[in-house]
Amino acid sequence: MKPVCILVVDDEVFLRHLVSYHLTRQGKHVIEASTAEEGLRMIAQARPDLVVLDLKLPDATGLELCRKAREELSYAGPILVLSAYGTPVNQALAAANGATAFFQKPFSPSKLLAEVDRLLIRRAA
Amino acid sequence: MTRSHNPNGGTRRSKTRSVREAIYRAVINAALLPAVLLSAAGGAVVLYLAFALSGRVADDVRLQDTEQTRWYAAADDLAGDVARPSIRLDSQRADPRTPFVAPPREWAAADPVGARAPVVYGSPAHAIRRSLLLAAAGTTAVLLFLGLLLAAHTRAHGERIAGCVGAHLQALRWAADRVAAGDLSTRVGRFEHEEPEALALAFNRMAATLGEAQHRLRQRRALFETTLGAMRDGVVVVGPHGGIAYLNPAAAALLGRECTETIGLLASEMFDAPDSAGPWNALLDPDGPDEVDMVVAGNLTVQASRTHATAEGAAAGLVIVLRDVSREREADRTKADFVSHVSHELRTPLAAIIGFTETLLDEPELDPDTRAEFLTIVKTEALRLGNLVTDLLNLSMMESGRAELHVSLLSLSELACESVALVRPSFEEKGLSISVDAPQDVVVAADRDQMKSVLGNLLDNALKYTDVGGAKVDVFARDGYAVVAVSDSGCGIPPDEVHKVFERFYRARGTTEPGTGLGLAIAKTAVAAHGGHIRLESEYGAGTKVSVELPLPQTEE
């Protein structure tokens, strides 16, 4: 059975590493991107089952990536936004641009894993 | 007396004057007839009294005449020449030699006053009566003459009075017209006659009172206009029916309208653009908010607050005060952005620290290498957090002017060499060159730690953003300033972002290098605190040069 593929887009190398570590330990296949451009390319090529996305990226905002993934790449998988800008406005904007869920930094790795599983199960259903 | 010509009212005024004079003449003519009649009546009374008096006198004389007649008769009898009795009326002309014939005694009884008693011509009674009648006639004539004279005089005087009164009324009317036209300095002069004079004085008092009242009103209005004109805040007065009743110059400037063109406009029609019209109309709505923010001409943010005005207990409209809050709102946005940035920058290392710490705690069976790796990450992120807090505090201290400068004479050449020595290993590790060009010693009065921090920050940026070539530090003096410039052959900055580089939390587009985004903001603030400038020139893709200019110390001669 093909493992679940998850894309992690974040310019913070340590945070990418943290998320990747935990997902990999659960048997998921993790691919990483540090810029929006790189992230879009990976979505187009790898068609991941889920995307974990930071809102603040060096070359664009996570919102732009989200919108382009939905509109230009017709990506239908869940997108989990992970951001230190956890204001209600940003949450609403993320939802309006196609995000499936919002998680605020700092975060508990176990809770993040639980949320990822919930989204994957919902998608499968 | 002040006079002015009224070219439009001449014909109408002369017609009015003609009518008035005609009325005066009619009144005077009407008074003439009674004057003449009164004179005639006086004459008649005099005549009657004279006639009556003459009759009584004649009666007394007639009694004496009777005695005399008797004497004559006796004499005639004696002479034997009895003449036929001859009775002559007073009016008949008689022969003076005709002898008296005594009238019958009953005549006197029938005519007690003797008025109709025949008087014997040439008798003493006749003579007296004639004298009295002549006197009465003369008196009557004199009275008539005097009456006519009085009438003529009255007429002449009346006409003169009428003429004078007409002129006075004309003057008063002219003056009243002037006052009505707004010239309250108008006064009428002295009049010859008492009543017009009193009227003129009353008129002048009224004009003076009005003038003083108007002067006070003008003074108040001037104060009102000056005050509202000097206000920085805009004031708009909306009348009870929704029309613009007043707009002060500040309001006109804020709304981008002329004061005069808006007076009388409906307040609800002032704006078309949604950013302005929406909040403005909400403010005009009685159930709406008392304060709104609106965007008006020139992208100004204006805070409009309303107060309901009342006059004598009744609603008199709205007074709206407009205040340009663009700076305050911009400051609010900057502050909110700053807090948001700080929050983000603090949360990011915290997220790594918390995440890896939780992992270490949850997985005690982790192999030692992974554990050491995670602990190193926690330490690195904790140090990053510490640096961020230090930078924020430094920036805050410098921006608020609370940072104390420990100024001493400082050799910029030496400082450049020291700073380069610190980063040389990092440059060499990345395969980059680094050099200092300081042909002469340049000394400034500056805080050594702050200048070291500034130079270190510039060198750090050069290291981060240069992949090929290297960096160079030049120290020299020019135009009264000491200059230390750091040039690199790095990626450069896009032209549309050059103006942002000194903003707090600015990070070069596309960078994945660690950093707080506060380095250049702190450097700019520190240099400014020394009275200097910092400049950045960059060619995108070719390199960047940042120059710090500090004023050279003044040499005493």
What are the tens digits of pLDDT across the range B243-272? 888 889 898 888 877 777 777 788 888 887
pLDDT at B459 exceeding the cut of 90? yes
More confident residue, B556 or B366: B366
B376 at the A interface (CB within 8 A)? no
Of B343, B380, B381, the CB nearest to A84: B343
At B2, the pLDDT band (50, 70, 90 cuts) reads very low
Q: At what angle do helices B194-230 and B124-180 cross, to 10 degrees?
A: 10
Q: Residue A9 is which amino acid?
A: V
User: Do the interacting molecules here have an ipTM over 0.85?
Assistant: yes
Question: How far, in Å, CA of B443 to CA of B435, rounded?
Answer: 20
Q: Judge whether residue B121 has pLDDT over 70.
A: no
Which of these, B138, B166, B149, lies nearest to B15 by C-alpha position? Answer: B166
CB-closest option in B359, B509, B510 to A109: B359
Q: Is the pLDDT of residue B81 over 90?
A: no
pLDDT on residue B4: 40
Measured CA to CA, the distance from residue B198 to residue B521 in angstroms comes to 86
Q: What is the pLDDT of residues B474-483, one digit of tens each?
A: 999 988 899 9
Give pLDDT tens digits for B89-103. Answer: 444 444 445 444 555
User: Which DSSP letter does residue A61 get?
Assistant: B
| Chain A residues touching B509 at Cβ < 8 A | 58-59
Instruction: Find the distance separating the first CA and the last CA of chain A, reported in whole Å.
Output: 18
Task: Give the Cα separation of B524 and B280 in Å (integer).
Answer: 42
Label residue B541 by pLDDT band (50, 70, 90). confident
For residues B340 and B303, give the distance between their C-alpha atoms in angstroms, rounded to a whole number.
25
B481 forms bridges with which residues in the sheet?
A: B478, B551
Closest CA in chain A for residue B337 = A85
Contact (CB<8Å) B512/A21: no
- The tens digit of pLDDT for each residue in B387-412 reads 888 888 888 888 777 777 888 898 99
* pLDDT for the residue B90: 46
Q: Which whole number is the average pLDDT over B276-297? A: 87
Residue type for B323, please? R
* Distance, CA of B280 to chain centre: 26
Chain A nearest-CA distance from B348, in A, is: 6
Residue predicted with more confidence, B35 or B211: B211
- Looking at residue B148, its pLDDT comes to 83
Q: Which range is most confident: A29-33, B211-215, B382-386?
A: A29-33
Residue pLDDT, tens place only, B14-25: 566 566 666 766
Q: Please give the share of chain B, as a percent, with pLDDT higher than 90.
A: 22
Question: What counts of helices (H) and strands (E) characterise chain A?
Answer: 5, 5
Q: What is the pLDDT of residues B493-503, one digit of tens each?
A: 888 888 888 88
Q: Does residue A65 contact residue A79 with C-beta atoms inside 8 Å? A: no
Whole-number percent of chain B with pLDDT over 70: 78
Task: Please report the pLDDT score of residue B141 as a whole number.
Answer: 83
**Any chain A CB within 8 A of the CB of B282?**
no
- Yes or no, beta carbons of B362 and A110 under 8 Å apart: yes
Query: What pLDDT is attached to residue A81?
Result: 94
- Positions of chain A with pLDDT lower than 70, given as ranges: none
Collect all residues of chain B within an 8 Å Cβ-Cβ radius of residue A87.
340
Please give the model's pTM, rounded to 2 decimal places.
Answer: 0.56
Q: By the CB < 8 Å criterion, does B379 face chain A?
A: no
Residue to substitute from B338, B342, B348, interface A, most A β-carbons within 10 A: B348
Write the single-letter amino acid at A106.
P
Q: Is B359 part of the contact surface with chain A (CB cutoff 8 Å)?
A: yes
Is B441 a residue whose pLDDT tops 80? yes
pLDDT in tens, B502-539: 887 777 766 666 667 788 888 998 899 889 999 999 88
> Which range (B122-136, B269-283, B343-357) has the least confidence?
B122-136
